[in-house]
Copies of this chain bind each other. A is one copy, B any other.
Amino acid sequence: MDQLAIGVDLGGTSIKCALVSRQTGLIHQASRDTEAARGPDVVLDNMAGLIKLMMERAEGQVLGAGVGSPGIINWDRTTVSDPPNLPGWKTVHLGDALSARIGTPLRVLVENDANVAGLGSAHYGAGRPYDSFIMVTLGTGVGGAIIYQNRIFRGATGGAGEIGHMTIDYEGPVDNHDIPGASEAYLGQRFLSAHAARMARQSPASSLNETILQRGDLEPHLIYEAAVQGDETAREVLQWAGHKLGVLLGSAVNLLDIRKMVVGGGLSAAGDFIFDAARTTIRQFVTHGLREGIEIIQEPRGNEVGVLGAAHLVFERVDDAAEAVGD
């Protein structure tokens, strides 16, 4: 029999919500402004409103809701603490807060947003062929998740996968956490845009200079579009980024012996302009015995893997409960 769950992607600017079928994936979707600045009560009201909407549309019992969230998640997946970009939260027990607002007890599980994206990719996205893979999300920051034997590898306290803060040069430029040579200090949006602007200044013929004048900034999709149009400087920037990505993933492969990599997030749209360089570089940074079978692929489902993975937290928990009673 099919199973239904609700997936929620709690972001600093918007909340995305979906009704998900275990067998067929997305059934309904909706999203709205987070209204983060109005504090946790309003944000929780907004989440509860979307969840209620999905429950009304469900033809059958909803087993619960999974939430992908920024911030620190406890081991039991019940609370969120100090989510960045969501002021005033401290620690919130999501099951209690949402059940009270919906007016009926709801099973709620919460997990780090990068981790649910990995789980969504594992069960509904590009990660489906692999039992184990490393998920990288190239967005404002560089997020990561380790999917091991179809589960999230959580580490000792639930905080594993902080690939964006791994260093590739101990004397390199610092990221937002002042970590020298952190991969985010190359691949994070702000850092990559700044690098592209520097490269453009040295190449007056590049169309990127015109783009900077028009747009005031070089968002990654603008670099990608210039690369597609044949701009050499834009292509060099993306190769440079791919090289850094390959170095980073090479280190991760050495530590984990997980040789499949799924890359999502805005910058992943640049596809082979980045991945070709990453694929060449990674082989150079992996020990001989682990070089066979390395693959770096794109996650084309974008933000959808977030809500799908969040819903899958619920399916997983139902399986575990069934197994525990010998079902």
Q: Which residues of A contact B (CB under 8 A)?
A: 72, 131-132, 144, 146, 153-163, 165-171, 177-181, 243-244, 247, 250-252, 254-260, 284-290
Q: Is the CB of B166 within 8 A of A169?
A: no
A237 to B53, CA, bound (A): 64
A246 nearest CB neighbor, chain B only: B170
Q: In the bound complex, do residue B177 and residue A287 qualify as a contact, i.e. CB atoms below 8 Å apart? A: yes
Most B CB within 10 A of own CB, among A144, A153, A167, A177: A167
Q: How many copies does the complex hold?
A: 2
Determine whether the beta carbon of A254 is less than 8 Å from that of B163: yes
B155 and A256: CB pair below 8 A?
A: yes
Residues A255 and B257 in contact in the complex (CB < 8 Å), given A156-B132, A167-B285? no
Alpha-carbon distance between A170 and B289 when the two chains are bound, in angstroms: 20
In angstroms, Cα B201 to Cα A59, docked, is 79
A292 and chain B: residue at smallest CB distance: B157
Query: Which residue, A72, A166, A181, has most C-beta atoms of chain B within 10 A?
Result: A166
A120 to chain B, nearest CB (A): 20
Known A132-B156, A167-B247, A169-B169: A178·B284 in contact at CB below 8 Å: yes
Q: Do B179 and A257 touch across chains, with their CB atoms under 8 A apart? A: no
CA distance A171 to B162 in the complex (A): 23
Contacts of A247 in B (CB 8 A): 167, 170
Residues of B within 8 A of A162 (CB): 254-255, 257, 287, 289-290
Chain B residue contacts of A163, Cβ below 8 A = 254-255
26 contacts between A and B (CB under 8 A): A72-B289, A155-B256, A156-B256, A156-B257, A156-B259, A158-B257, A159-B257, A159-B290, A160-B255, A160-B258, A161-B257, A162-B255, A163-B254, A166-B251, A166-B254, A167-B168, A167-B247, A167-B250, A167-B285, A168-B169, A168-B170, A169-B170, A178-B284, A179-B286, A180-B284, A251-B251
User: Judging by beta carbons under 8 Å apart, are A144 and B180 in contact?
Assistant: no
Contacts of A170 in B (CB 8 A): 168-169, 243-244, 247, 285
**Contacting residue for A165 out of B153, B159, B254, B260, CB 8 A:** B254
